[in-house]
Amino acid sequence: MNVTKSRFKLYATTSGLPLVYTFPAVQFTNAPKIINKKTVIEGIRGQGCIIIPGSDSSWDLEIRGVLMADNYEDLVDLIDALESAVVMFIEYVLEIEKDSSTEYSYNVKRIEPIEYPESLRNNYQEYSIKLKANSW
């Protein structure tokens, strides 16, 4: 897998948008490359659809990456920091910096538990977090 050079930062929605968490070593995301705002409404009979341009619909945004540490105790601290920073059902703003001039911003909430695929390692742990984008 290629590690993306993007910076994924999570901000609180309170005044001033304080930084809550920076996702380390992100390896995958399904965030769209272009923010194309539209809502698709499909008919119940399966013929055609209506596309409403300029509107927002919610969708699942997934971030997968790796937590890396020197030893097991430090790794557990990183997992605890992730769990305590990204609390379920709290409103956040996720900013994804693609390069120095391109940045995307999404209103998100975590509505599912963070997944940690089994890796049986002492110094790194994969994580997968799903956020509901445009959920508030």
Reported as a single tens digit per residue, the pLDDT across 61-75 is: 999 999 999 999 999
The DSSP result for the chain, as a single string, is -PPP--EEEEEESSTT--EEEEE-SEEEE---SS---EEEEE-TTSS-EEEEET----EEEEEEEEEE-SSHHHHHHHHHHHHHHS-BT--EEEEEE-SSS-EEEEEEEE-SPPB------SSEEEEEEEEEET--
Single pTM value for the model = 0.77
Please state the domain extents for the chain.
7-133
Q: Which fold has domain 7-133?
A: Elongation Factor Tu (Ef-tu); domain 3 (2.40.30)
| Average pLDDT of the segment spanning 15-33 | 85
